[in-house]
Amino acid sequence: MKKMDSMEKAFLKIIYDYQKIIYRVCKTYRDSKEDQEDLFQEIVYQLWKSYPSFKGESKISSWMYQIALNTAIAIYRKPKLPVDYVEKMPEQMRTGIGHQVSENEERLFDALRILNDTEKALISLFLDDFTYREIAEITGITESNTGVRLNRIKTKLKNLLK
């Protein structure tokens, strides 16, 4: 029981310190605040389940990204209902999970959500300063393919954000 408590404490400390990673993955993979909140919970649950097998051989952020991205991609989303295009997003929608977000941040996430799930995973890791080798290890895509794909994604993003 005592061992469990210390494990739980250590886990919570890590997740608290690195919760930005989960936030970014949720904002990238889900549109609505409610879906982002559900995914946040799902990711924390999956991290907790896989924590006993985390031996600390890789960086905490690598482990967290792998579980978070895996969960975001695999968990089933009900097909979206068609929505009418709104030119400007209402102010109350421009909030993240629990805090206000800047317009630039919102623009970035709006653009990221247009990419496919694999592209989202690659660019998320790139934006967090992972090297091509680390990205290849986390995703399972070869290092050279990672480079080619990232160049394409960066161009796509730049065009979307012009």
Partner 1 sequence: MELDDLKSNWQNAGGYSKSESDLLNMTKLTHHPSLKKIRIKLIAETIFLVLFLVIYYDWFDGDKKPLYANIILATGLLFYIANDMIGYVAIAKPVSGLNLKLSITNYFARIKRLAIFSLIFSFLYSISLIVFFTSVIHFTREKRFLLLGLVIILFQLMFWSFRVWTRRIKSLQQQVKDFDTDDNK
Contacts with partner 1 by CB under 8 A lie at 8, 11-13, 15-16, 19-21, 23-24, 27, 38, 40-42, 44-46, 48-50, 66-67, 69-71, 73-76, 79, 96-99, 101-102, 104-105, 107-109, 116-118, 121, 124, 127-129, 137-142, 144-145, 148-149, 152, 154, 157-158, 161
> Which ranges of 32-142 would DSSP assign to H, the alpha helix?
33-50, 60-74, 103-112, 117-127, 132-139
Distance of CA 45 to the CA centre of its chain: 15
Residue with tokens 């999956």: 46
Q: How far is the CB of 91 from partner 1 (least distance, A)?
A: 18
**Closer residue to partner 1 (CB): 84 or 162:** 162
Return the DSSP state at 57: S
CA geometry: angle 12, 138, 95, nearest 5 deg: 55
**Closer residue to partner 1 (CB): 84 or 129:** 129
Euclidean distance between CA atoms 91 and 100, whole angstroms: 10
**Closer residue to partner 1 (CB): 42 or 86:** 42
**Closer residue to partner 1 (CB): 84 or 159:** 159
